[in-house]
Every structure is written in C-alpha cells, then in structure tokens.
Structure 1
Amino acid sequence: MKITNFKVSKYRSITTSKTLDLQGMSVLVGPNNEGKSNILRALVVGLESIQQAGTQTKAARRAPLGSFMYRSDDFERYRWERDYPLALQDKEPNSSSTFEFEFELNERDKEDLKESTGHSLNETLKIRVLLKRGGAAEIKVVKRGPANAAINANVAKICDLIQRRVRVEYVSGDRTSEETLRLIRREAVGALAEVSASQEYRDLLNRLKGLSEQALAPLQGRLNDEMQDLVPGVQNVEISVSRFTEQVHRRDFDVSIDDGSNTLLSMKGDGIQSLTVIALIRALAKRSEDVTYIMAIEEPEARLHPQAVRRLHLKLQEFAEEDQVIITTHSPVLVNREDISANILVSRNTAGPARSLESIRTSLGVELPDNLLSSDLVVLTEGSFDSEVLSTVLSRASQSIGRALSAGRLSFADSGGCSNIHYQARLQRDALCRIHVVLDSDKAGRQAAEKLRREPWFLDRDLTFLVRPDADGTELEDLFSEDDLAGMIADEFGVDIDLYDANPRHDFSTRMGNRFRAAGKVWDSSMENNLKCRVRDLACARDRIQPVEEVRPLISNLVSDIERKLALRVER
C-alpha cells in the first residue's frame, strides 16, 4: 500500500494545495517560509490521524460512526487554535482542516479489505480526514454511488488496515541524538516485551530480585534498628526493589558509534546524529515486508558535507524503490532530475508539481551562466574544439538535437581539459543539469573517466569515449578522413601527408607530429593547436567534411543517448 496523491486545505499557512502526485521519492522545493514544512507536517498529521483511528479500541468508538478523538504520542498533535489558518478562525469558527489521501492497493491489500469489510475496490482507496476544533477527527472513504454508505460503515476497519500497512516516520529539521534514541527506545521496548513473556526471563528476574534483597539486607537491618529506637511502635522496615519488569522496559538505551573513535551518539557531531536517525528508519523498513514505510524528512541536507549529501541522495533513492520518501530541501543535489513532476514547488502557501528544470532552479535560487539557464542536458567535452565540432556533427545527424540546441535545452560545454572534467560534471549536476561526458580514448581521457566513475552519483551510461576501430587511442579529429584533410594541410602547413607513412593505430596528434617532423616542419603545442583549429573549421563548415564510415555507428549511438536524455524532460 502506497500513497499516490495527497491534498491539504486550511492547515496552518496552507490555504489550499493542488492534488500532489507522490512518487517513490517526492521533493518539496521552494524559498524559506513558503509552506514546505507545513505540507510535510500536514501529510504526517493526516496519516497519523487515520492510524490512530485504526488502533482505538471499540470502547473508544462510542462517538458517531466515522468520528474519533485524535491524539499522537510521537508527533505534535493537531490543535485547531494553532493549526487552522489564523486569518480564517473568526470567519469560520466551526470549520475543519482537510486532508485527502489516495492509496494504491496491492493484491494482498484488496484481499484483506474484502475479508474485513466485504467490499471490493479496484486499484485505489480514497480517504478524507477532517480535523476539528476540540480534537475530533472525522474520517470518510470517498466513494461515489450507492456503496458509499455501506463502505463508510466499515471506516474503522479500513483505518485499521491502513495503520497495519503504512507507517510514517517524521524526521524534523532539528535532528538530535535524542530523536534517534526515542526511536530506538520505542523499538527496543517492543523487542523486550517479547522477551519478558518467556519463562527464562521470569526466572532471571526472580534471581535478580533475590540478589537485590540479599544486598539490601544489611542496610535494611540497620535502618530497622534505628527506626525502632526512634519510633518504638515500628515493627519492621523493608527495603525492596519495586516493579523490576517495568524498570527493564523503561530503561534508557545508549548508542555509541565507532568511526575510528568510539563515542556516544550524543557526543558526535550534528552530521552523524542526522544520518543516524535516517539509517535507523532504513533498518526498520528492511524487517517489514508487508509495511510501507514513509520517510518524511525536513531538509535532509542540513549539517552535511556536500559529498555526504550526494551519498544520502543515492541511499534515499534506494529506499524509495520499495517504500516512499518525501522531503523538503534547499539543495539542488536532492532534486529529482529523472521525473520533473516528482518535484513539488511550494510558493506563497500553495503547492503544485514542477513543470520544468528552469522553474525548479528559480525556486531554489540556482544561478547559471546565461547559456545554461534553460538547459536540461549539458554535454561535457575536453575542450572548446570538441564542443563546437560535436554540436555541429550531432545536430546534422538528428533534427531533435538541432531543435534542442536552438531552444537552449541542450548545451555543449568546454571543461578546459581532462583534469577539469570531474569538477565540471559535479558543478553541472549541482545546477540541476543532466550531463553526458564525451572523452577522447587516450590516456588522459581514461584517467578522467576513472575519477568520474568512482563517484556514487555518476553512471556509466553518461559516458562516451570517442573510439576509432583498431586504434590504441582516439581524438576527436580521428573521426574524420585524412583524405578530406590532406588538401588543407598541404596548402596551409606545407606538409603532403600522403608522402609519409603513419601507424594507423596512433591517434591524430601522434600521426601528424611524426609527419610534420619528417617533412622538416615545426611541431609543437602551438602548431598542434593551429592544425586542430583548421580541422574544426572544416568540420563546422556546412557539407565540407563528414565523419568516416567506421565511426558512424559510434555517432549514431551517441545521438541515441542524447535523444533519450532529452526525452526524459516532463512538460505538462
């Protein structure tokens, strides 16, 4: 059972929200004080009110059908005087905050619903929660038609099913060791309750009681003598340890973490404390196959190093594959790039799905160079020559790539050399751009690729090497035929390359360097740069030179990679 959409109205600063589609991982973004936290809290408050209704006993259900008293031990309870919009309280003294959920049911959920209520639902279950003044909660199943009254007669059983199948863990922005310990105590008490039912536990408890009485006997005797001396009417004084069982259940639990220095969690830094509570929720979820955990976190990036934020993002995505994650954030690292609509923009106390990366950047205050303001995808190359040539070649090969370039959705960026590829890739990713890296298949290119591939956020699918069949190394210039370049090289550099043999396995720079030197010409970095400039000019001139036949499959595959990434953009 998972939540597929949610809507709230008249809760704190949120007067109304659009119906928010919730994915495996949903991200609430927006400036400060615009309502992100209130939407997250509204989801938790509404869901916990359903779960509370599901756990109340029959004796507590003497109120009218569908009405319950809302309370919560682990989360701040709803209070109308504080949580209903202050500006509306005088005008609407009898109105309620409204929370609407739509749950997706799996086959087991449907079977259990049928067995407990006698009613069948196809795919989804819609629940409306009204939280009223005085602490009452009215919960209804939203269903049209004649079955509405009958299914709402079983609303308590439906709430019970939800509380057994869905569990929400709220993690506030102020994540402390105490919050982690609270969760651990809750789980540990449950585990100890099972142990306390065993005979072995009771025997040990009696043994402990006996040892305690034996240790206290001398003190008890001395106290007894003194009391009888002072108060002659006293016959006996007994010192005993009371409520051994409850003591064990209520004991405090300490957590220590050894990360090179074994230290109590309360003494660790804020970053470790923050990550520990998230790790604990992940651990709880792994033991419960039939329960969907909803991790609701305020600003998970708080107090974390940027590298730790990137790793956390990957782990939250893994969690969201089976369960659900809903976060508020100011970090572009945590934005969902694959499904734009999974990002919810919160502004002026209203909320709705994002429609473009540009709108998310604006909401987060991400500033980009003018040429990247609307880019969804940035192709990173080693140098400016590579960017110019590839953009020309690929736009000729694909109309959709050409249109994306013209519209600014696609950009080719010069990294300024292999050594800068890693930095530029991370920079573009943090600026909410998808990336695709194109590298020469020489030593420098492969070293740059290895550095990228060590990053948990970088995927191999986002890398293309320029490869020429049967060559030890390949540069961009190797994509073009030497026959098409020979005339230009002879006219402008005075070298007839056809007169000199060259090892075809060598890359362009090595082959040309050997020929220039054999012809008695200067060959240095300046000459190499000049020659590559002229190759770029020919490649970018309309219909002058084309890639050689043997690399056209490589070009076609690169075109497909880029087209797929461009197609991931969601516009509604």
Structure 2
Amino acid sequence: MKLTKLSISNFRSITKKQEIEIKDKNIILGKNNEGKSNILKALSLAMEALKIHSDNYKRGLRNYKRGLRRSSFRYSMLSYNAEKDFPKGKRLTSDNQAVLELEFKLNNYEILKFKDVIKSNINGVLSLKISFSSSQGANNFYIKVIKHGRGAVTLTKKSEKIAQFVADKVYYNYIPAVSTEADIINSMLVAELSVLAQDEEYKKAIAVIDELQKPILEKLSNRIKEPLCEFLPNISDVKIETVNNY
C-alpha cells in the first residue's frame, strides 16, 4: 500500500486546500516560516488519527467480547488542538474545520485482502477524509471514506476497521528538525506503547510498580524538603512522582 496524495485544508498556516502528490522520493523546498513543517505535521496528525481510530476499534472489540459496553472504556486522545492548529483569524464552524485527506493505492493482493477483511470492494484507490472539530478529547475527529457512486456510506460505517487495515500496513514517523536521539526514541515508544493504557494486566503491573516506588520517592522527597525549606520557608510539603507516559 502506498500513500499517493495528501490534501490539507485549514491546518496552521495552510488556510486554503492544498493537494500534494506523494512519490517514492519527495523534496519540500521553501523559505523559513513558509509552512514546510506544517505539511509534515499534517501528515503526522492524519496517520495518528488513523492509528487511534484503529486502536479504539480493537479495544472496543475486546471489550465487546468481554461483555462490556462500548462506552465503558476510555478512548486514546488525539494531539490536535484547535486553538493551536486551526488557522489564526479564521472562524471555526461545523462547515469550516481542519480537514486532511489521504489517498492510498493498493496492489492486486491488497485489493483482494481488503475485500476479505472489510467485506467491500474498491477499485485499487482508497481515499480517506479526516475532519477535526473544536472539541477537546477523544472524539474530536471524524473519518469518512471518499468514494464516488454507491457504497460510500457503507464504507464510512466501517471506517474503524478500514483504519486498522491501513495502520497495519503503513507506518509514518515524524521527526522534528531539532530533536535529540532520546526525544525521538521516547516519542516513538509513547506512540507504540499507548495501546497498553487500557490493558487490565498492564494497569495491575503499573499499580504494583507504583507501590514499590512509593517508599523510595517519599524518602527522596523528605531529603529534598529539608534544605529547600531553609531557602523557601513557606513550603509545606515536597512530593516527587513518576510520570507514566504509556
């Protein structure tokens, strides 16, 4: 499966729809602050949305098999923030949102596999439209399958399963211009391990680790508190906590 086209509308500095043909090798040229990075960020956001949509489908399927209602589990959160990512000075409405479109080309084997997994036919081109709302949270984007003629509504109803189909075959990693090796590896780890966040066994393991760390962190907190209070006597307490990004 190959990504062949990216369309961007109302994302950061890109206010009007821009279509970009994706080849095997691509070079983006332009002056500083002209939006080159925003093209890469838009593609990163679109792939992130597909992966989250796919992960939520898999979690919902697991919970369904366990007899739990779909609303009983938490969804992964998308990094899109309308205040930061929607163009400044434009009015965000239901008809005027940030929109990203991805077009994928499937080979003959993938076309047959798509029919087998999704139970629908496509002609070798899969186009997805991702719209981002102003709300913050898990459900602040909507994925629609773009298809001319009959079958578009049916395919859109299967968007979570289609997102999983794509996410299993296409991997994209955006590396900012200024990053340390640790930053890059950490962002990759967080993205890949986020799927564990709702796993019950993982939650139990984290709870055990938290309990084991607790006396050590309390001891370290008390050690820091004493000299710190000499300089800042109004401090009543010091508490050190570890952050679980996954």
Q: TM-score range by the shorter chain?
A: 0.5 to 0.7
Please state whether the residue corresponding to 1:134 is helix, strand or coil: coil
Say whether 1:163 aligns with 2:167. yes
CA distance in 2, matches of 1:132, 1:189: 26
Say whether 1:106 aligns with 2:107. yes
* Cross-structure match for 1:85: 87
Gaps of 5+ in 1: 64-68, 191-241, 248-572
- After TM superposition, give the deviation of residue 162 of structure 1 in Å: 0.8
**Higher Cα Rg, which structure:** 1
* Cross-structure match for 1:16: 16
- After TM superposition, give the deviation of residue 19 of structure 1 in Å: 1.6
1:344-383 to 2 correspondence within 5 Å? none
Say whether 1:40 aligns with 2:44. no
* Cross-structure match for 1:71: 77
Q: Structure 1 pair 189/96, CA: closer, same or farther in 2 (3 Å)?
A: closer
* Cross-structure match for 1:381: none
- After TM superposition, give the deviation of residue 154 of structure 1 in Å: 1.2
* Cross-structure match for 2:123: 122
The number of equivalent residue pairs is: 185
CA distance in 2, matches of 1:176, 1:165: 28
Residues 358-378 of structure 1: CA distance to partner in whole angstroms, max 9, x if unpaired? xxxxxxxxxxxxxxxxxxxxx
1:284-433 to 2 correspondence within 5 Å? none
CA distance in 2, matches of 1:184, 1:149: 34
Q: Structure 1 pair 180/88, CA: closer, same or farther in 2 (3 Å)?
A: closer
1:132-531 to 2 correspondence within 5 Å? 132-135=133-136, 136-182=140-186, 243=209
- After TM superposition, give the deviation of residue 29 of structure 1 in Å: 0.7
Alignment RMSD, CA only?
3.1
* Cross-structure match for 2:53: 53
Structure 2 counterpart of 1:25, one-letter code: K
Please state whether the residue corresponding to 2:26 is helix, strand or coil: strand
Structure 2 counterpart of 1:85, one-letter code: P
Query: In 1, are the aligned partners of 2:10 and 2:17 still within 8 Å (CA)?
Result: no
Q: Structure 1 pair 39/183, CA: closer, same or farther in 2 (3 Å)?
A: closer
* Cross-structure match for 2:227: none
- After TM superposition, give the deviation of residue 38 of structure 1 in Å: 0.8
CA distance in 2, matches of 1:8, 1:184: 24
Query: In 1, are the aligned partners of 2:130 and 2:142 still within 8 Å (CA)?
Result: yes
Please state whether the residue corresponding to 1:102 is helix, strand or coil: strand
- After TM superposition, give the deviation of residue 48 of structure 1 in Å: 1.1
- After TM superposition, give the deviation of residue 107 of structure 1 in Å: 2.7
Query: In 2, are the aligned partners of 1:100 and 1:128 still within 8 Å (CA)?
Result: yes
Query: In 2, are the aligned partners of 1:102 and 1:127 still within 8 Å (CA)?
Result: yes
* Cross-structure match for 1:131: 132
Structure 2 counterpart of 1:147, one-letter code: G
Q: Calculate the TM-score normalised by the size of structure 1.
A: 0.30
Please state whether the residue corresponding to 1:162 is helix, strand or coil: helix
CA distance in 2, matches of 1:24, 1:189: 29
CA distance in 1, matches of 2:39, 2:82: 16
Q: Structure 1 pair 70/188, CA: closer, same or farther in 2 (3 Å)?
A: closer
Structure 2 counterpart of 1:102, one-letter code: E
Query: In 2, are the aligned partners of 1:55 and 1:163 still within 8 Å (CA)?
Result: no
Structure 2 counterpart of 1:131, one-letter code: F
Query: In 2, are the aligned partners of 1:7 and 1:17 still within 8 Å (CA)?
Result: yes
CA distance in 2, matches of 1:96, 1:8: 11
* Cross-structure match for 2:97: 96
CA distance in 1, matches of 2:188, 2:165: 25
- After TM superposition, give the deviation of residue 53 of structure 1 in Å: 0.3
Residues 498-533 of structure 1: CA distance to partner in whole angstroms, max 9, x if unpaired? xxxxxxxxxxxxxxxxxxxxxxxxxxxxxxxxxxxx
* Cross-structure match for 2:31: 31
Query: In 1, are the aligned partners of 2:9 and 2:18 still within 8 Å (CA)?
Result: no
* Cross-structure match for 2:7: 7
CA distance in 1, matches of 2:106, 2:16: 26
Please state whether the residue corresponding to 2:148 is helix, strand or coil: coil
Please state whether the residue corresponding to 1:138 is helix, strand or coil: strand
Q: Calculate the TM-score normalised by the size of structure 2.
A: 0.66
CA distance in 2, matches of 1:132, 1:35: 22
Q: Structure 1 pair 100/70, CA: closer, same or farther in 2 (3 Å)?
A: farther
Q: Structure 1 pair 99/187, CA: closer, same or farther in 2 (3 Å)?
A: closer
Query: In 2, are the aligned partners of 1:5 and 1:102 still within 8 Å (CA)?
Result: yes
- After TM superposition, give the deviation of residue 16 of structure 1 in Å: 2.1
Higher RCO (CA < 8 A, seq sep 6+): 2
Query: In 2, are the aligned partners of 1:4 and 1:23 still within 8 Å (CA)?
Result: yes
Please state whether the residue corresponding to 2:100 is helix, strand or coil: strand
Structure 2 counterpart of 1:132, one-letter code: S
Query: In 2, are the aligned partners of 1:98 and 1:130 still within 8 Å (CA)?
Result: yes
CA distance in 1, matches of 2:189, 2:161: 29
CA distance in 2, matches of 1:14, 1:163: 26
Structure 1 counterpart of 2:127, one-letter code: K
CA distance in 1, matches of 2:153, 2:124: 20
CA distance in 2, matches of 1:30, 1:41: 16
Query: In 2, are the aligned partners of 1:97 and 1:131 still within 8 Å (CA)?
Result: yes
- After TM superposition, give the deviation of residue 121 of structure 1 in Å: 1.3
Query: In 2, are the aligned partners of 1:12 and 1:85 still within 8 Å (CA)?
Result: yes
Query: In 1, are the aligned partners of 2:132 and 2:141 still within 8 Å (CA)?
Result: yes
Query: In 2, are the aligned partners of 1:49 and 1:70 still within 8 Å (CA)?
Result: no
Query: In 2, are the aligned partners of 1:9 and 1:17 still within 8 Å (CA)?
Result: yes
